[in-house]
Amino acid sequence: MYEILCRSPERPFALSAHSDVPQGHHAGLVLHMRENRSHLSEPARQTFAVLGAMMMALSILPAMSGHWLVPAYCLMTMGALVFALEYNARSKPAGEVLEIAHGTIRHRDADGRATHMPCLFAKLDAQAPTPSSLRLILRSPKASVEIGRCLGLEERQALIPLIASALSQGRR
């Protein structure tokens, strides 16, 4: 999931959701990217609980035959799934910020690492080793950074023309 914002040249450090820049001036691009993670709704949690109860009910027959590992395995599996869902819901989603404005590219990832490079010699390299994977790498003579790691394939494909256009405008 990503959000596109414009940066006004009159207010270089203030974000605005719409461009109030006169025509002919490049406002820049601010791109907030975040991992798309949806939480389970209450009906989905109830369905998950019903499936767990059915799994335990179906393990009764093997338990009556003396196979006690089947219900223990079912119980451990359901506990591991619940733990994984709760851990994922509480953890912070991965995110990145990419800014292309005033001839400079700034990239900041979720860990706080920041990369600065000039727009003049920067280029966007889209590597697709397989049809289901795509890596977007911004390269300049002194630095390179992979962007959009937290996005899905379709979102990365949609960003290629947007970033290429912002780079060409940033070189002017």
Q: At 1, is the pLDDT very low, low, confident or very high (cuts 50, 70, 90)?
A: low
Pair (135, 64) in one structural domain: no
Query: Six-digit token pair at 130?
Result: 């397989």
Please write the tens of the pLDDT for every residue from 122-142.
888 888 888 888 999 999 888
Residues 97, 86 share a domain: no
Residues 33 and 49 in one domain: no
pLDDT-derived band of residue 5, with 50, 70 and 90 as boundaries?
A: low
Domain co-membership, 154 together with 98: yes
- Shared domain check, 19 and 57: no
pLDDT digits (tens, 9 = 90+) for 47-105: 888 888 888 888 888 888 888 888 888 888 888 888 888 887 788 888 889 988 888 89
Distances (CA, A) of 121 to 75, 78, 93, 141: 58, 53, 32, 7
Residue ranges in the chain assigned as alpha helix (H) = 42-58, 60-64, 69-90, 153-170
- Same structural domain for residues 135 and 72? no
- Name the pLDDT band for 32 (thresholds 50, 70, 90): confident
Are both 111 and 165 inside the same structural domain? Answer: yes
pTM: 0.63
CA torsion through residues 61, 62, 66, 70, sign = negative
The mean-pLDDT minimum among 9-13, 82-86, 144-148, 163-167 falls in 9-13
Domain residues for 97?
2-37+93-170
Q: Last residue of a domain, which of 51, 69, 90?
A: 90
Q: Report residue 25's pLDDT band, with 50, 70 and 90 as the boundaries.
A: very low
Is the same domain home to 97 and 149? yes
pLDDT tens for 146-157 read 988 888 888 888
Are 75 and 106 part of one and the same domain? no
Same structural domain, 123 and 163: yes
- Asked if residue 156 and residue 98 are part of one domain, the reply reads yes
Q: Is residue 102 domain-shared with residue 33, that is, in the same domain?
A: yes
User: Alpha-carbon distance 99 to 6, whole Å?
Assistant: 9
Q: Tell me, what CATH number does 146's domain have? A: 2.30.29
**Alpha carbon distance 100, 124 (integer Å):** 12
Q: What is the DSSP string of 120-165?
A: TT-EEEEE-SSTT--EEEEE-SS-EEEE-TTS-HHHHHHHHHHHHH
Q: How many distinct structural domains can be found in the chain?
A: 2
